[in-house]
Structure 1
Amino acid sequence: MHQSTPASGTMKLDEDAIARARDNLEQGAVTPGIAPHAQEICKLLNDALATEWVCVLRYRRHYFTAKGLSSEAIAEEFLAHANEELGHADRLAARIVQLGGEPMLDPDTLSARSHAQYDESTELKAMIRANLVAERLAVEIYRQLIALVADKDPTSAHLLRDILAEEEEHADELSDWLERP
């Protein structure tokens, strides 16, 4: 294989890693360049996975218990967000498996590992506020995760960027709902 060298001649491909990529085919996407980081990345992704599941449960509870003048419309928003959070969870779990890890979905540990909190508010504004806080936390967590993994695992960073964009949309939508009378 030819080495890639720019005009300055300082960058080149790691020929040893490329050769090792031919070995251990059972590891799938876990090639020599990511292998030293895969376990740590899986732990970070599993904590994000726990956060997503707690968000799914909180949004679903709010969907079923929302009452008030605007409750039908905001309840539908809660359900849409719950479904999108479940999609995030599924994508994170799939990536964890791709990296050779196992998704940690033990219900007894989800809340402890989550960055967001479950909420049992009964008043509509409090529900919106609790979900907005959780979305803002998710936005910050995903930004930090992207910075941590971007140079080690570009594929996970891309996934996290996609999820981040949706979390930002959720936060904007909830902020708009919070400002309504």
Structure 2
Amino acid sequence: MNSATFISDIKQIRANARQHIEDGAVTAGYELDRDSVINMLNGALATEIICTLRYKQHYYMCDGFNAQAAADEFLEHANQEQEHADKLAERIAQLGGTPDMDPAHLSDNAHSEYVPATSVDEMIKENLIAERIAIDSYREMIDYLGEKDSTTRRIIEEILAVEEEHADDLAALLQAA
């Protein structure tokens, strides 16, 4: 198969690549409003940072009979949420935006809430609620991105898969509690 068969005009693609070279990975073929995507990703970033902090607090505060299983799960989830935050921040920068990690903005921008919990049961429930919020938020983002930004969509899809695993883990902990 000739590579020119599926590419409309390779000479035009080459010319476009030389224009606006400072835009890095974002080319003229990017069909979405970058500012909207960056704002959306900053909301997801804030959510992941809040979730990381909540899981970490719950990890340190987890105490009592059979609390070790929950604590171990909280720590694992915290580390994965941090990885998600890093991926989102990297994509925001790749799109020419600035990852908003300003502590003053995090609570306002996050989809989930930072609800205090004192018992292991409450911690599990609050984390499960946050995961369910993230799952629905990420599904909406995937729909919005569609085929117009497959790179961002793939990142969100990967994060969504992990969030679904977290929700399953937490539901199992809740049943065992």
Query: Contact 2:49 / 2:82 at 8 angstroms: preserved in 1?
Result: yes
Which residue type is aligned with residue 149 of structure 1?
L
Which residue type is aligned with residue 126 of structure 1?
E
Task: Assess, with a 3 A threshold, how the Cα gap between structure 1 residues 17 and 99 changes in structure 2: closer, same or farther.
Answer: farther
Q: What is the Cα deviation at residue 79 of structure 1? A: 0.7
What are the Cα deviations for residues 61-92 of structure 1, in whole angstroms up to 9, with x where unaligned?
A: 10011112121121111011000000000000
Match of 1:8 in 2: none
Query: Contact 2:111 / 2:134 at 8 angstroms: preserved in 1?
Result: yes
Percent identity between the two aligned chains: 45
Residue 54 of structure 1 pairs with residue 65 of structure 2: no
Query: Contact 1:17 / 1:32 at 8 angstroms: preserved in 2?
Result: no
Residue 70 of structure 1 pairs with residue 82 of structure 2: no
Query: Contact 2:56 / 2:74 at 8 angstroms: preserved in 1?
Result: yes
What are the Cα deviations for residues 73-117 of structure 1, in whole angstroms up to 9, with x where unaligned?
A: 211110110000000000000000000000000000100110001
Query: Contact 1:38 / 1:99 at 8 angstroms: preserved in 2?
Result: yes
Query: Contact 1:129 / 1:178 at 8 angstroms: preserved in 2?
Result: yes
Q: What SS class does the counterpart of residue 69 from structure 1 fall into? A: coil
C-alpha separation in 2, matches of 1:132 and 1:13? 48
C-alpha separation in 1, matches of 2:33 and 2:110? 22
C-alpha separation in 2, matches of 1:168 and 1:49? 17
Match of 2:142 in 1: 146
Match of 2:21 in 1: 25
Query: Contact 2:30 / 2:148 at 8 angstroms: preserved in 1?
Result: yes
What's the TM-score once normalised by structure 2's chain length? 0.92
Q: What SS class does the counterpart of residue 21 from structure 1 fall into? A: helix
C-alpha separation in 1, matches of 2:48 and 2:74? 14
Task: Assess, with a 3 A threshold, how the Cα gap between structure 1 residues 137 and 13 changes in structure 2: closer, same or farther.
Answer: farther
C-alpha separation in 2, matches of 1:77 and 1:17? 52
1:29-178 superposed matches below 5 A: 29-34=25-30, 37-178=33-174
Q: What is the Cα deviation at residue 166 of structure 1? A: 0.3
Which residue type is aligned with residue 128 of structure 1?
I
What's the TM-score once normalised by structure 1's chain length? 0.90
* Structure 2: runs of 5+ lacking an equivalent: none
Which residue type is aligned with residue 139 of structure 1?
I
C-alpha separation in 1, matches of 2:52 and 2:122? 17
Task: Assess, with a 3 A threshold, how the Cα gap between structure 1 residues 52 and 60 changes in structure 2: closer, same or farther.
Answer: same
C-alpha separation in 2, matches of 1:17 and 1:61? 54
